[in-house]
A and B are shown apart, each in its own frame.
Chain A
């Protein structure tokens, strides 16, 4: 079924303390698409990402992967997604290379090459507590070069990353959608990639403000 969207989100709602976090969300993400999730601080972008990755269970609504509810194809779905969250998941006492090998153990690409591509050549053997915040991010983002996942969830991927890093990350995303993958990312920054679709999150009971 080449026409079925990779990800379908229908009437998604999530309650916290008996109150909806955001207004109902409907979204379709097809192959070769980038969807940017936008919304003010505290509007629930990270919550939405965590709903997508099954770390949270929605209060109501459905999430489908290639037309199938994700609860029914959990193994398949979770094998096909890659999530890079706020915390990079980098172990401080391991070296950059060990971290990457660990995070992307099922990939045959060389960790050395991936680190070189994110500008960390020569840092492979250095424990991560000696690296800066931006470099930790880069270690985590090097995973993008070592994955076969079809659907990428990137939560604020540009945090602490310099301009070169941003353009590198954009080229990664471009390559990924060219291969038929899809990207869902949350950021406040405008991307320079063409055809990025925006999904605006409306916080529940939003009165405007500012």
Chain B
């Protein structure tokens, strides 16, 4: 049984490719909701510019949260998770592979689509680069943290609500420093500070979250 990092990365990308419609839904959600904001609040660019960075970050967070649910669910249902759990290799590597695939299918497209939404929400010019960079790092954090929650709730039939409650507090620092990066750039301050903290969070999450998620999966298999 294949169980390295790259094997699972490739397999999950292939699975996502086969179910393109489902895989694209976080991105569609992200774009659709952000389009509604000017309609609901005001099309005036001065007012939109004030809230643009926050809106984009909140939407990116919610879009990621929507999709974390399914990270291990289908593997759990069809029995391949059980096979993964009894494979001889270290569990954290395939888990990291799955998380990376999840990020490439959700976080990365969100990051790439964000400049478009920036235009729609009249984000000030100085905000674009910090927004793309902070979203790239931040969505990575979101996928990694979400995986821990998804692993813990995988055996529950309706784990969606519990998952949100579990990971929401851990998502907060990410959104605080993420939108702070964009906001400092817009206000004309140096934005490397909050971005560095975001990078540090990502580094810590890469090191710890796969281990925690692997532990969570082992726990759920006991029942």
Contact surface of A with B, Cβ cutoff 8 Å: 53-57, 74-79, 81, 83, 85-94, 98, 102-106, 127
Interchain CA distance A54-B86 in the complex, whole Å? 7
Interchain CA distance A157-B162 in the complex, whole Å? 36
User: Provided the pairs A89-B78, A106-B2 are in contact, do residues A55 and B11 lie with their beta carbons within 8 angstroms?
Assistant: no
- Number of A-B residue pairs with CB-CB distance less than 8 Å in the complex they form: 61
Judge whether B85 and A55 touch: CB under 8 Å: yes
> Scoring B residues 50 to 87 as 1 if CB is less than 8 Å from chain A, else 0, what string do you get?
00000000000000000000000010011110110111
Contact of A93 among B19, B77, B80, B87 (CB under 8 A): B19
B residues 5-35 touching A (CB-CB < 8 Å): 7, 11, 14-15, 18-19
B residues in contact with A78, CB < 8 Å: 86-88
User: Provided the pairs A55-B221, A85-B79 are in contact, do residues A94 and B2 lie with their beta carbons within 8 angstroms?
Assistant: no
List 18 extra interface pairs beyond A87-B77, A89-B82, CB under 8 A.
A54-B86, A55-B82, A56-B221, A75-B88, A78-B86, A87-B79, A87-B82, A88-B78, A89-B78, A89-B83, A91-B80, A93-B19, A94-B14, A103-B83, A104-B1, A105-B2, A106-B2, A127-B18
User: Provided the pairs A85-B79, A103-B1, A104-B1 are in contact, do residues A93 and B15 lie with their beta carbons within 8 angstroms?
Assistant: yes
Measured CB to CB, the closest approach of chain B to A94, in angstroms, equals: 7
Selected A-B contacts with CB under 8 Å, 14 pairs: A55-B85, A56-B221, A56-B222, A57-B222, A75-B88, A76-B88, A77-B88, A83-B83, A87-B78, A87-B79, A103-B83, A105-B1, A105-B2, A105-B7
A residues in contact with B79, CB < 8 Å: 85-90
Measured CB to CB, the closest approach of chain A to B88, in angstroms, equals: 4
Interchain CA distance A53-B82 in the complex, whole Å? 10
Chain A interface, >50% SS class: loop
Contact surface of B with A, Cβ cutoff 8 Å: 1-2, 7, 11, 14-15, 18-19, 74, 77-80, 82-83, 85-88, 221-222
Measured CB to CB, the closest approach of chain B to A7, in angstroms, equals: 15
User: Provided the pairs A79-B88, A105-B7 are in contact, do residues A85 and B2 lie with their beta carbons within 8 angstroms?
Assistant: no
Judge whether B18 and A90 touch: CB under 8 Å: no
A residues in contact with B77, CB < 8 Å: 87
A residues in contact with B222, CB < 8 Å: 56-57
Interchain CA distance A75-B91 in the complex, whole Å? 12
B residues in contact with A93, CB < 8 Å: 15, 18-19
With a 10 A CB-CB cut-off, give which of B2, B14, B88, B222 has the most chain A CB atoms: B88
Measured CB to CB, the closest approach of chain A to B74, in angstroms, equals: 8
User: Provided the pairs A56-B222, A91-B15, A94-B15 are in contact, do residues A102 and B78 lie with their beta carbons within 8 angstroms?
Assistant: no
A residues in contact with B85, CB < 8 Å: 55
Measured CB to CB, the closest approach of chain B to A96, in angstroms, equals: 14
Measured CB to CB, the closest approach of chain B to A137, in angstroms, equals: 12
Judge whether B2 and A102 touch: CB under 8 Å: yes
Measured CB to CB, the closest approach of chain A to B121, in angstroms, equals: 36
Contact of B78 among A92, A105, A127 (CB under 8 A): A92
B residues in contact with A57, CB < 8 Å: 222
With a 10 A CB-CB cut-off, give which of B1, B78, B87, B221 has the most chain A CB atoms: B1
Closest to B2 in A: A105
Measured CB to CB, the closest approach of chain A to B79, in angstroms, equals: 3
A residues in contact with B2, CB < 8 Å: 102, 105-106
